[in-house]
Amino acid sequence: MFSLRNLPSLAPIVSAYALLTGYIMMIKPFLDTTIPPPLQNYIIAYINSFFISTPSTLTLIIDDQIKNGMYNELYGAAQVYLSTKINTNAERLRISRDRSEKNVNLNLSVGEVVSDVYQGIELKWRFCVNSKKSNMVHDLGEQFKLDPERESFELSFEKKHRDLVLNSYVPYVERKAKVINNERKIIKMYSYCNMYSKWQSVNLKHPSTFHTMAMKEELKRSVMGDLDRFIRRKDFYKRVGKPWKRGYLLYGPPGTGKTSLVAAMANYLKFDIYDLQLARVREDAHLKRLLLGTTNSSILLIEDIDRAVDLHTRLQPKTHEDSKGSATLTLSGILNCIDGLWSSCGDERIVIFTTNHKERLDQALLRAGRMDMHIYMGHCCFDVFKTLASNYLGLSPDYPHHLYPEIKRLIDGEVLTPAQVAEELMKNEDADVALEGLVKVLRRKRSELEKYDGEI
């Protein structure tokens, strides 16, 4: 049983301390004259190390952004990983759900802590949000601006495990996050909002897939094979010293499925899409900041590149400034972001340009290494029609309709685009009625083309 009688007397301790203090006071003048002050400080620090314990915990701070506004991939991995580690003891959690999701998303609230164990090591994660006030000087006086909130995770553990955490645990978190993302990923479509100076996203719900894509089978297999080869060749790109990226140019008349092909590629790879509208880009530096804000495993899409900006006044100016002396977007700025040094700021990137008029593009945009694969999306041929008939009318390609021979004869050539054929097939759910209507349109269109050719 605990008893005060078992405690040692304080008298000997106090007496020893007083004696030690006395000795120190007696020899201090001698030490000051014989031992240099720097050496004294070293000796005192060495003695203190036996009595004063130093912190044994190391804390790593993982911000949501690194310098220049570039997204921190490690922050995203930590957020995904920790969402699976939240236990029932948590007191405050953030909850959300997109319209297309069945389950709710749980994330840490400010200050909430999650514990983890890895190879016998105890680790603690904490979610933090910080905001700072920065001064902005205006003509009318001095005002304060509140910077956007910056989110971060703090990872704490014993210092002696530093190497194991950095070299083993952190890569483990990234691998687990990638697996989790692949299992539950919802593809996002990002667009840049000038008002908030940031990328904003919505869920991409486009149903296009390579299975339903209305394009020639040979071309379809070629595109899928090229994508598969690109994804699995990370080590190859590193070995040959090239950025891990791929460029595609989709060109052809309106309504030939260029946008649908982009959606099919995104759905096939599970890549997010960043829809970049060059008309909103002010200058080369602005373009660089935008691209730094994109993530790996994504598609950068620039639609109608020939009409996105004034090619003569903005992409090919004589100087980098407009008539008012302001910096502008230049052709060289775009090229540097596609395959210059800036193109190496990220991995597993795909760049897609679309255009209705390939001949209007500057040849510098089209050379090998920038747009690696040129894909012509042409008018509807008979094979493409059969895919559309299967999609819209449920007709199997293996059991042709009696009108197929007539449609094959009429549709060959530049008669109708896939979008025009799809429009006709949607007019009636009855296959016979829909196909009869398509035949009439094809005959009329064919007659118009032959009459036009005769006049020429």
Q: How many CB atoms lie within 10 A of CB 76?
A: 17
Is 195 contained in some domain?
Answer: no
From 335, 360, 376, the end of a domain falls on 376
Is 365 contained in some domain?
Answer: yes
pLDDT in tens, 92-114: 777 777 665 666 777 787 878 88
Helix, strand, or coil here: 203? strand
Is 193 contained in some domain?
Answer: no
Greater confidence (357 vs 8) lies with 357
pLDDT in tens, 300-337: 999 998 876 554 444 454 444 555 555 678 877 888 77
Residues 255 and 333 in one domain: yes
Dist. CA 304–CA 353, nearest whole Å: 7
Q: What are phi and psi of 273, to 5 degrees?
A: -115, 130
Average pLDDT, the chain: 81
- pLDDT higher than 60, residue 1: no
The per-residue pLDDT for 135 is: 46
The per-residue pLDDT for 105 is: 72
Q: How many domains, in total, are found in the chain?
A: 4
Report the candidate in 375, 395, 99, 411 with the shortest Cα–Cα distance to residue 258. Answer: 375
Residues 347 and 426 in one domain: no
The per-residue pLDDT for 178 is: 85
Sequence-distant (≥ 6) Cβ neighbours of residue 252 within 8 angstroms: 258, 356, 376, 377, 378
Q: Which domain holds residue 434?
A: 382-455
Residues 236 and 130 in one domain: no
Residues 247 and 371 in one domain: yes
Dist. CA 269–CA 271, nearest whole Å: 5
Is 343 contained in some domain?
Answer: yes
Residues 31 and 137 in one domain: no
Dist. CA 73–CA 151, nearest whole Å: 13
Is 192 contained in some domain?
Answer: no
Residues 227 and 126 in one domain: no
pLDDT in tens, 48-69: 555 555 568 899 999 888 766 6
- pLDDT higher than 90, residue 220: yes
The per-residue pLDDT for 80 is: 86
From 357, 376, 395, the end of a domain falls on 376
What single-letter amino acid sits at 66? I
pLDDT in tens, 143-158: 444 455 788 899 999 9
Question: Would you give the end-to-end CA distance of the chain in angstroms?
Answer: 115
Greater confidence (288 vs 354) lies with 354
Is 46 contained in some domain?
Answer: yes
The per-residue pLDDT for 361 is: 87
- pLDDT higher than 70, residue 138: no
Average pLDDT over residues 200-223: 92
Assigned token pair, 243:
């950025």
The per-residue pLDDT for 366 is: 83
Helix, strand, or coil here: 111? coil
Please give the C-alpha separations between residue 66 and each of 145, 323, 455, in angstroms, as whole numbers.
21, 35, 64
- pLDDT higher than 70, residue 338: yes
The per-residue pLDDT for 234 is: 87
Dist. CA 282–CA 305, nearest whole Å: 16
CB distance 59 to 334 below 8 Å: no
Average pLDDT over residues 356-384: 88
Please give the C-alpha separations between residue 130 and each of 83, 95, 147, 191, 407, in angstroms, as whole numbers.
21, 20, 9, 26, 65
Question: CA torsion sign, 287 to 292 to 294 to 296?
Answer: positive
The per-residue pLDDT for 306 is: 82
Average pLDDT over residues 383-390: 94
- pLDDT higher than 80, residue 212: yes
Residues 32 and 118 in one domain: no
Residues 8 and 41 in one domain: yes
Residues 33 and 150 in one domain: no
The domain that holds 209 is classified in CATH as 3.40.50.300
Identify the band that residue 46 occupies on the pLDDT scale cut at 50, 70 and 90.
Answer: low
Residues 230 and 365 in one domain: yes
Residues 206 and 175 in one domain: no
Is 305 contained in some domain?
Answer: yes
The per-residue pLDDT for 251 is: 95
Q: Can you count the helices (H) and strands (E) in the chain?
A: 16, 15
| Percent of the chain residues topping a pLDDT of 70 | 75
Residues 262 and 313 in one domain: yes
Report the candidate in 70, 75, 165, 182 with the shortest Cα–Cα distance to residue 116. Answer: 165
